[in-house]
Structure 1
Amino acid sequence: MASKADAGKGEKKGMPIVLMMVVMLLGIGGGAGAMWFFAKGAHADTGAAAAPAVALAVPPPAHYIAMDPSFVVNLADPDGTRYLQVDVQLMTRDPAAAPVIQGNLPALRNGLLMLFSQKLADELRSRDDKEALQAEALAEVQRILTAETGRPAAEALYFTSFVTQ
């Protein structure tokens, strides 16, 4: 049979483990509460501060200039029976650039007609091919506008219709 002295020793061994668990739970709870408190305060502070920064980051509205009528060209295929029909729109965010682009449409159309007509049908099959042509066409437009006006004026060029036959 165990004596009272032995029973006291067993209780002393169990007490530190329970005490450690209680302290650990209090620490975890306190840390979670502090995290919640500071996160709540951070959201309140950043919400007000972030709103003006986001408002300043919004770009001006885009202006689109359609290059009508559609471009229709013979492709440079050896058999000469392939055609490209494409609709093009230019985009600028500078309202003063739209009239500059409009005033240079004949030169822009000429440059794009020359570019499109030197392509082969096989060079226009995949999406990558079309995106490469789009980049070349934008570079041509910006080259002409820079030569005529001193600035590229157009920020983007979009194909709104693209048909090869």
Structure 2
Amino acid sequence: MSGKEKAGKGKILLLAIIAILLLLIVSGGVWWFMLRASAPPSKAQLMQERAQQTKFIDLGSLVTNLQSNDGGTHYIQVKVELKTYDADLDKKIQAYLPEIRNQILQLLAAQQADKVSDPSVRSQLLSKIKTDVNQVLETDGGALPDPSGKSPPPVVAAYFSSFVVQ
């Protein structure tokens, strides 16, 4: 081999190494720009995403009698809606609907007819309904151990869409 051939092979090898290094640098830069964390979402963006995920589940109308101090018969009819951010929770609610409705009916039947119309009592009832429904869903109606609160509860709120006391 002559000196010119060795010099030509050396230049080719040097150019190949430089090309590989440039390729690595460019691909690393592209990777860094494409995969780096973007700015955190604003509060308005988070609220908009949450609103898109919000789902209300109707438990239907529930009617039961109330405790009475005056000797008369009093009834309560409510329509309960559950708020969730889990799109698949509706199926699970339907599977446990008899247990959930039973829990709510027992809770309502234990109320005093003359006190149940008080706004603070209604608020307490909604809070208890939410807690009871979450307990049924998370513990299979008490058959499973209660989770230690590692994840948010499936039902975030309960609402009365109808409330009649007679």
Structure 1-normalised TM-score?
0.62
Q: CA RMSD in A?
A: 2.4
2:151 pairs with 1:161: no
1:83 alignment counterpart: 75
For 2:74 and 2:163, how far apart are their aligned partners in 1?
Answer: 14
Larger radius of gyration: 1
SS at match of 1:64: strand
User: Structure 2 regions of 5+ residues with no counterpart?
Assistant: 1-38
Summarize the alignment of residues 75-114 of structure 1 with structure 2, pairs less than 5 Å apart.
Answer: 75-78=66-69, 79-114=71-106
| Alpha-carbon distance between aligned partners in 2 of 1:74 and 1:64, rounded to the nearest angstrom | 26
Counterpart position of 2:117: 125
Partner residue in 1 for 2:137: 145
Give the CA deviation at 1:74: 0.5
Consecutive unaligned residues of structure 1, counting only runs of 5 or more, are 1-49
Quote the offset at 1:123 in angstroms.
Answer: 2.3
More strand by share: 2
Tell whether the 8 Å contact from 1:97 to 1:153 is kept in structure 2 after alignment: yes
Tell me if the contact between 1:74 and 1:80 (Cα under 8 Å) persists in the aligned partners: no
Corresponding residue number in structure 2 for 1:7: none
**Relative to structure 1, is the Cα distance of residues 125 and 56 closer, same or farther in structure 2, using a 3 angstrom cutoff?**
closer
| d(CA) in 1 for partners of 2:161, 2:47 | 28
- Tell me the number of residue pairs that the alignment of Structure 1 and Structure 2 aligns: 116
Relative to its length, the structure with more helix (as a share) is 1
Q: What are the Cα deviations for residues 28-55 of structure 1, in whole angstroms up to 9, with x where unaligned?
A: xxxxxxxxxxxxxxxxxxxxxx994231
Q: Is the 8 A contact 1:75 1:116 kept in 2?
A: yes
Give 1:154's aligned amino acid. V
Match of residue 36 from structure 2 = none
Give yes or no for contact 1:90–1:157 (8 Å, CA) kept in 2: yes
Quote the Cα distance in structure 1 between the aligned partners of 2:83 and 2:161. 12
Deviations 1:49-98 (A, max 9, x none): x9942314531421111112x11111011425111010011111111222
State whether structure 2 residue 117 is matched by structure 1 residue 116.
Answer: no
TM, length-normalised to structure 2: 0.62
